[in-house]
Structure 1
Amino acid sequence: MESAEEAPLSVFITGFGKFIGVPYNPTESIVNNLKWFMKVKGMPKGVVIEKCQILVAAGKDALSPLCDFFKSAVEGKEDDPSKLSRTILIHFGVSSAITKFAIESQAINEADFLWEDQLGWVPSNESIIKEDGGIEQIRKTSLPINKIVTELVKMGFPVVVSNDAGRFVCNYVYYNSLRFADGNGIKSLFVHVPLFNQIDEAIQMLFVSSLLEVIASTYACLE
């Protein structure tokens, strides 16, 4: 069995397609182009991007492909804690209300959509996972996000820690992801990015590549 030091950091990445008010989602372009971009720029040592997937911007009716994505991250690793501990789900979503990158610290067990998702669901104050309890239930990432943000700011990127991923599809996906991560010994992170008219695509691609670099360099503190 590989040791934790020898196992690569296996990264599984998602973005979203369009939704109401955002006819072109920048995360779709970022995630679709990321493997090519990293091949040109150079992957951080010890990091492997295993899978990139675009999710439909929807909640419960898109849960099955989301769960399949989660399962792909742990497939074949179930009996190897060293590999599981070095597996991370990273989700990217857009917020038209921000001008900086926002690293989300937590998700809340509440779906309260102001408008319908791409499959027509409009929940109101519903628990995302009823077995977890009420809408006040919170799940937090176990990654050292304050350290990650500090390093990214030193690199010159406008980035902040956020404690509120909203109550729309981003929060819905993040809550499910954190729950799966907690139950399987892996990590999960959600990052909100601005629209390209706030921060252009070239800088956003550099940000994502730098995020991978920083996560890789700070991962040792978790082990």
Structure 2
Amino acid sequence: MKVLLTGFEPFGDIAVNPSQLVIEAMAHHTLPDMAITAEVLPTEYQAAGARVRELIETISPDVVLSIGVAAGRKGLHLERVALNLDDARLPDNAGQLCQGSPITDDGAPAYFSNMPLADLKASLLEKNVPVTISNHAGAYVCNHVFYSAMHTINELGLNTLCSFLHIPAIPDDYDQHAQLALLGIVKSVEYILEALQERITNQLPVAP
């Protein structure tokens, strides 16, 4: 199973982006029968969107899971909807401020994740992982990458499963508790990939 994992570099008040740490950890993990490409994207609308599109076109992955931090949220959030919208009070790391701009003029207003989110949530809860399904990935660079990935998959006619995972912030001092929390998130990403691998291998139907 070919997997594309992406995270983001620090931005704004996020001095340590846990999504970057997760991606760096996953880049060194070996999971049976999986070819994992893990890349940290710039927290920039245009550069991140272009790069995820390039990676999908090059790899033609079976699974795309992008990861980002959502300060203030608890537990994991599997995102269901990607909006064709850039809208935030915070500029990206390139200094671009987007307020109500469409991501693309020729795309759908929104895309729904085609991952089996309900099943993934149930599987994670069985493993005592705090997780919920969210209907709003925001309208910052996280959503931009999620939408760009879904739009590319749709344009290319791929059977790629795609979603976005928001994870909690961790303390800037990266203490022992933060390290344990990070290890738990990495393990949760592994759980998600293993569940998707089983579904693809057994050709089970997909229903968000």
**TM-score normalized by the length of structure 2:** 0.87
How do 1:156-167 residues align onto structure 2 when only pairs under 5 Å count? 156-167=128-139
Which residue is 2:166 aligned to? 192
CA RMSD of aligned residues (A): 1.8
Q: Percent identity?
A: 19
The answer to whether the Cα contact below 8 Å between 2:49 and 2:144 also exists between their aligned partners in 1 is no
The answer to whether the Cα contact below 8 Å between 1:11 and 1:48 also exists between their aligned partners in 2 is yes
Which residue is 2:122 aligned to? 150
Query: Which digits, 9 at most, give the CA deviation of each residue in 1:123-167, with x for residues without a partner?
Result: 11111111126xxx1101111111111111111100111110001
Which residue is 1:11 aligned to? 3
Which residue is 1:181 aligned to? 153
- 5+ residue gaps, structure 1, are 1-8, 75-83
The answer to whether the Cα contact below 8 Å between 2:48 and 2:145 also exists between their aligned partners in 1 is no
Deviation at 1:62, TM superposition (A): 4.1
| CA distance 1:157–1:62, change in 2 (3 Å) | closer
Which residue is 2:193 aligned to? 212
Equivalent residue letter for 2:33: G
Deviation at 1:201, TM superposition (A): 1.2
Equivalent residue letter for 2:69: V
Q: How many residues align?
A: 195
Where 2:54 maps in the other structure, the secondary structure is helix
The answer to whether the Cα contact below 8 Å between 1:61 and 1:119 also exists between their aligned partners in 2 is no
Which residue is 2:98 aligned to? 123
The answer to whether the Cα contact below 8 Å between 1:103 and 1:191 also exists between their aligned partners in 2 is yes
4+ residue runs of structure 1 moved beyond 3 angstroms?
61-64
Where 1:189 maps in the other structure, the secondary structure is strand
Where 1:130 maps in the other structure, the secondary structure is coil
The answer to whether the Cα contact below 8 Å between 1:148 and 1:218 also exists between their aligned partners in 2 is no
Deviation at 1:90, TM superposition (A): 1.1
| CA distance 1:164–1:31, change in 2 (3 Å) | same
Structure index of larger Rg: 1
Deviation at 1:61, TM superposition (A): 4.4
| CA distance 1:61–1:47, change in 2 (3 Å) | closer
User: In the aligned structure 2, how far is the partner of 1:205 from the partner of 1:127?
Assistant: 33
Residue 222 (str. 1) matches residue 196 (str. 2): no
Which residue is 2:33 aligned to? 46
Query: Which digits, 9 at most, give the CA deviation of each residue in 1:86-133, with x for residues without a partner?
Result: x11110101012111000111011110111000011111111111126
Which residue is 1:67 aligned to? 53
Which residue is 2:26 aligned to? 34
Where 1:157 maps in the other structure, the secondary structure is coil
**TM-score normalized by the length of structure 1:** 0.81
